């Protein structure tokens, strides 16, 4: 079975622009979580979606938004990009949104904001 897929792999944007990142979960998984990882730190939780509903939000500004589609794939949108948004954006897939659910990561999208 295919694992979690993300697109694009790399992206370079300019300050003030908007970006959309995409994720497809493992087949059969209904929950997608998004994380931001900057160099030297662990991933930071941004959002979790389950059955198309938001099931948690981390401490990120409203410039960050996400949604989940009927086929359980997901998009992360970031508006008005800042230099500090440069990071590896990770999508993780799990069967459901409960605490006893293992999350499996995709390869990530590396975003560079110049």
Partner 1 sequence: QKEVEQNSGPLSVPEGAIASLNCTYSDRGSQSFFWYRQYSGKSPELIMFIYSNGDKEDGRFTAQLNKASQYVSLLIRDSQPSDSATYLCAVNMQDRGGYNKLIFGAGTRLAVHP
Based on CB atoms, which residue is closest to partner 1, 91 or 113? 91
Q: How many CA atoms lie within 13 A of 16 on its CB side?
A: 0
CA distance 55 to 83: 28
CA distance 114 to 107: 22
Which ranges of the chain would DSSP assign to H, the alpha helix? Answer: none
Closest separation between CB of residue 45 and partner 1, Å?
A: 5
Residue 28 interacts with partner 1 (CB under 8 A)? no
CA distance 58 to 89: 14
Based on CB atoms, which residue is closest to partner 1, 83 or 100? 100
Residue 45 interacts with partner 1 (CB under 8 A)? yes
Residue 68 interacts with partner 1 (CB under 8 A)? no
Sites of contact with partner 1 (CB under 8 A): 33, 35, 40-45, 48, 55-56, 58, 88, 90, 92, 97-108
């Amino acid at each position: 079975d295919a694992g979690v897929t993300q697109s694009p792999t790399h992206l370079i944007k300019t300050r003030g622009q908007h970006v959309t990142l995409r994720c497809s979960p493992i087949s059969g998984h209904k929950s997608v979580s998004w994380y931001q990882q900057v160099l030297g730190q662990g991933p930071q939780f941004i959002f979790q979606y389950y059955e198309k509903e938001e099931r948690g939000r981390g401490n990120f500004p409203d410039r960050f938004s996400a949604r989940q589609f009927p086929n359980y794939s997901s998009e992360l949108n970031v508006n008005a990009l800042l230099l500090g948004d440069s990071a590896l954006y990770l999508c993780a897939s799990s069967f459901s949104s409960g605490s006893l659910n293992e999350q499996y990561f995709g390869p990530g999208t590396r975003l560079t904001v110049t």
